[in-house]
Structures are given as C-alpha cells and as structure tokens.
Structure 1
Amino acid sequence: MSHLFQDQTAVITGAGGVLCSEIAVKLAAEGAKTVLVGRTEEKLKKVEAQILAAGGACMVRTADVTDEAAMEALADEVERTCGPCRYLINGAGGNNNKAITTNFTYEPEELQENKPEDMVGFFDLDMGVFESVVKINTLGTVIPARAFARQMARAGRGSILNFASMNSTRPLTRVPAYAMSKAAVVNFTQWLATYLAPAGIRVNAVAPGFFVNDRSRKILFAADGNLSKRGENIMNHTPMGRFGEAKELWGCVSWLLDDEKAGFVTGITVPVDGGFLAHSGI
C-alpha cells in the first residue's frame, strides 16, 4: 500500500458510476478519506458498503454538481468533517438520449413535414436538453473545482482530475452536445492547470475510451447479447479489440494524482482507450 493517499481527503463526484466507483474504492483501499458525491443515493450507498466492508473511510452526500451553493456548502462540510480536500476527481457528467440524433448525417427528410416519426436530426434537437448536457459536463466540472480548489490553494498543494472523453478530440456521430461539452473539459483543464500552478495545484484529465456501463450497454449490445452495429463499429476502430474494464483506469488515475511520480505533470489529458484514438479507421 502506498503512503500517498493515507489520511488524505479525496472527493469523487459521479461516484456512483462504474468508473468513479472503482476509483473511490481504490482510493479508500489506499487509506484516503473518501467523499462520495452523486445524484442517486442508492448507487452511492452500494459503493459506501464496499468501502466500509474493506475497512475504509467514507462519507456519502447527494448533491447537484451544477448547484454552486450546494457545492460550497458541501466543501465547507467536508473540510470540517474530514479535513481539507487534497484530491478532487470530477467524474460527474453524462449524456441524455434526447440530445442524441438518430441520423448519422443530414438527410433531406428531416426538414419535411411528413418525415418519419422516429427521425431525430440536428434540426429537431431540444435545445433545453442540449443545454442541460453541456451544463452537467462543463459547469459540473467548473463549480466543484472552484469549491474545493480553495482548500487546496490555502494548503499550497492538491491535485484535480477531470473526466474528458474520446469525444473531446474525435467527436462521435449523433452526440453533438456531449462531444461539444467534453471538448470544453480538455480546454478548461489546460486553462485551470495554468491558473492554479502558482498555488501548487496540478490539474489533469483522463479520456476514457469505451467502457461498458448501464447507459452504454444499451448502445453497444443488441437484445440477444451480441454487439450492436455501433458496438461492432467501435470494435473495428479499437486496436485492442475489446472494451475497457473499470479497474484498468486506476493505474493512469493514481499516477496523475501522485505528486511524487507526476509532480511535474499538469494540464494534460491522457487517453485510456485501447488505441481508439491511434486508429484512423482506414
């Protein structure tokens, strides 16, 4: 066990998800005082039970990461209860099915009055839903960073890890709001790393490739359990020929958080994608 995380406070947003729950469990196993933040208490409680069963320390709080007042209040509570935040993992975010087009590209039918009922093109997207996706992924990263980086700045040390995506550098078809917002996360990571460097705070990001979770399972697999057309297409563009497993993200995450091993690393986004970004598709 590393001494790095021992008795340090680590806040993980989106901690009920497949990837961030794994990170939370690993941090707790390394001795960190973990604060699990998310919108669904039931999911957080499952992660808490796993951490407590292994003898780890844990706090669960349901909160909206786009609510600045709620994040400020949570930051104050965490500092009083657990001590100042040393590590912040900004994992909260996501997409919405109503912000996804059915078309891969423009089709003239989408502008016609008698278009197919199930057709959703770019011109049909609900801008309110589109905005909500952009908000959760962008402000949902900015607001917790503001709330918890104050504590890091006062201490003169800390590490922030944001969650980018394959969409950050290679926008996938059908998900314009998600792609746009995840591109913003990479840019903001660079900006914040530059801004907070004098405070002794490093800011980096990971860009996970295709890992299976509850939402993506419905997209990647057909009802019979075989790969869907989209799932097959992803496999054809992933040199390692498989989806990632949550445990495979920890090595990169722990390195980026480590002030000893990655002490001179800030402002970068690391793909963990089985080679997806390296493959041109040809």
Structure 2
Amino acid sequence: MIPIHDNLKGRVAVITGGSGILCSEMARELARQGVKVAILNRNAEKGREIVDSIQEAGGTALAVAADVLDRTSLEQAKKEIVDQFGRIDILINGAGGNHPDAVTDPESYDEQEEGKTFFDLDENGFSNVFSTNFTGTFLATQVFGKELLKTGTPSILNLSSMSSYSPLTKVPAYSAAKASINNFTMWLAVHFAETGMRVNAIAPGFFLTTQNRDLLLNEDGSHTARSTKIITATPMKRFGKPEDLLGAMLFLVDESCSGFVTGTTIQVDGGFMAYSGV
C-alpha cells in the first residue's frame, strides 16, 4: 500500500480522459489520498462509473462532460468544478490516444505488401490524433491554468509515451504528438517557473489498455509478434500495470517530495529506454 501524502489532502485535481485505464487508476489513488477529483470525458457516463467507485471507497469525485478540443466546453467544465469544489490545484492532462486512420499496417514500407502504408494514411485521422494528444493538452492547460495559479501549490502533469523518445513503427501521428508533449512540458515549466507552478510529465512504458489491446494480444490472449518484440526489449519482461504509475504521479504532484522538480519527464517503463538490446 502506498503511504498517505498528508500534504495532498483537501486539494482538487482535474483529470482529462479520466475514465481511461491508466488515468482512472490515478483518479482512485488521488481520491484515496484525500484529493477531490474531477474526471473529464467527452462522455460523462464513463466518468460517472469511476466516480461511483471512488465514492463507494469514501472519496470525493465529480464527473464532468468536456471535449479537450472545445474551449467552450472546457470553460463550462471549469466553472462547474470551481462551483463544486472551490479551487483547482492539480491538472493531469490524460486525454489522448490513437486512431486506426493514423496507423500503418506494415512496420516498414514495401510497395509489394498489401495493407495501409504511409501514403494511405488519412489526413483527417492524422490531424485528429495529433490534436487530441497535443492541442487538447494545450487548451486544457490554458483553461485550467489560470485557476491553478490562484492556489499556492499548482502542479500540472502531462502524459507522454515511450514513443516520444524513439518513434514506434506504425503510429507516426501518435509518436509525433507525444514528442511534442515532452517539449511542451519543458516550455511550460520554464514559462511558469517564477509563479511557483510546476509542470512535469510521465512517460509510461507498455501497458495494456483498451486502445492497444488488439495490437498486443491475439484473440486467445497470447502475445502478438509486436508484443513479443516489446517484452524482449523490456528488461523487467512484463507489461506495466496501472498501479505502477502511482508512485511517480504522487511524487510529481506533491511539492513536499518534488518542490524543485519541474520540466522533467519520468519514464515508467520497466527499463525499456535503458536497454540497448545487447
């Protein structure tokens, strides 16, 4: 069991994409720590499922419908959260993901191979993936950032990816967007450093989620060829579990632990980035 961070009790956290497998686990842990959690999703019903589980465990949470690519809906969400909880101390930019229209079938180009190549990628799909991951982070930071600056301990946590460092095959839009998250995290950290607002990111390694499950597991639950490559390149020889992210999250949002840490991206990857393959 992770120790309680008394410093966080009574604070308010906004989590975009809060019903996702990784972010919902973060939401539950923050609530266990005494943080009031606002879960944002385009579909409020998904958020309410997480809210129900938090409330059943004795925590405080609110589900709010908002589209991270729609400034008006974000502004409305901010008003609802402030009206309900009175303040916002923490922003976790977790909304993102990939889309089949922005994914190639082969890992490398071969004009003789069947399937969707780079030249077949849909422009709208590519733009949508980039926007959801990067522009959504930008807009949410703009909208909620002003509220964060009203508190004494503002903290932003962005969600990056292993693909931000060395782009994974097949997912060019997602890789480019996550690389931009790392850069944007550093830019924000410098821009707001003198205000006391800290901005950091977590780069998860390979976790099984709803969006990547079909890429990593066969119908019978066995590893796909791509999945086997990942496990081979991960020294700890397993996929991450959602709870593996929680220690890094708490460290970064609690200034009593990380008060002089800003502009960094912490890898939670089972050693994937450290491994050269030999």
Same fold (TM over 0.5): yes
Q: Distance in 1 between matches of 2:197 and 2:94?
A: 18
Whether 2:61 is the aligned partner of 1:58: answer yes
Map 1:25-44 to 2 at 5 A: 25-44=28-47
Q: Distance in 2 between matches of 1:48 and 1:25?
A: 9
Q: In the alignment, which of 262, 272, 276 is matched to residue 276 of structure 1? A: 272
**Does the residue aligned with 2:273 lie in a helix, a strand or coil?**
helix
Tell me how far 1:205 sits from its aligned partner: 0.0
The answer for the alignment partner of 1:149 in structure 2 is 145
| TM-score between the two structures when normalised by the length of structure 2 | 0.96
Q: Distance in 1 between matches of 2:76 and 2:194?
A: 26
Q: Confirm or deny: 8 A CA contact 2:65 2:77 kept in the other structure.
A: no
Q: In the alignment, which of 142, 163, 175 is matched to residue 159 of structure 2? A: 163
Q: Confirm or deny: 8 A CA contact 2:48 2:62 kept in the other structure.
A: no
Gaps of 5+ in 2: none
Q: Distance in 1 between matches of 2:265 and 2:51?
A: 29
Q: Distance in 2 between matches of 1:71 and 1:90?
A: 13
The answer for the alignment partner of 1:98 in structure 2 is 101
**Does the residue aligned with 2:258 lie in a helix, a strand or coil?**
coil
Q: Distance in 1 between matches of 2:62 and 2:116?
A: 42
Q: Which amino acid aligns with 2:48?
A: K
C-alpha distance after superposition, 1:87-108 (max 9, x if no partner) = 0110000000111001211112
Q: Distance in 1 between matches of 2:181 and 2:256?
A: 25
Name the stretch that deviates more: 33-42 or 16-25.
33-42
C-alpha distance after superposition, 1:236-260 (max 9, x if no partner) = 1000000011011000000000111
**Does the residue aligned with 1:24 lie in a helix, a strand or coil?**
helix
C-alpha distance after superposition, 1:208-267 (max 9, x if no partner) = 001111222211111221111011010110000000110110000000001111000000
Whether 2:143 is the aligned partner of 1:140: answer no
Q: Distance in 1 between matches of 2:38 and 2:160?
A: 21
Q: Confirm or deny: 8 A CA contact 1:157 1:199 kept in the other structure.
A: no
Name the stretch that deviates more: 31-40 or 126-135.
31-40
Q: Confirm or deny: 8 A CA contact 2:88 2:151 kept in the other structure.
A: no
The answer for the alignment partner of 2:77 in structure 1 is 74
| TM-score between the two structures when normalised by the length of structure 1 | 0.95
Map 1:1-282 to 2 at 5 A: 1-109=4-112, 116=114, 119-282=115-278
Q: Distance in 2 between matches of 1:155 and 1:44?
A: 25
Tell me how far 1:156 sits from its aligned partner: 4.5
Tell me how far 1:46 sits from its aligned partner: 1.7
Q: Structure 1 runs of 4+ off > 4 angstroms?
A: none
Q: Which amino acid aligns with 2:262?
A: T
Equivalent pairs, count: 275
Tell me how far 1:3 sits from its aligned partner: 1.7
Q: Confirm or deny: 8 A CA contact 1:16 1:40 kept in the other structure.
A: no
Q: What's the C-alpha RMSD, in Å, of the aligned pairs? A: 1.2
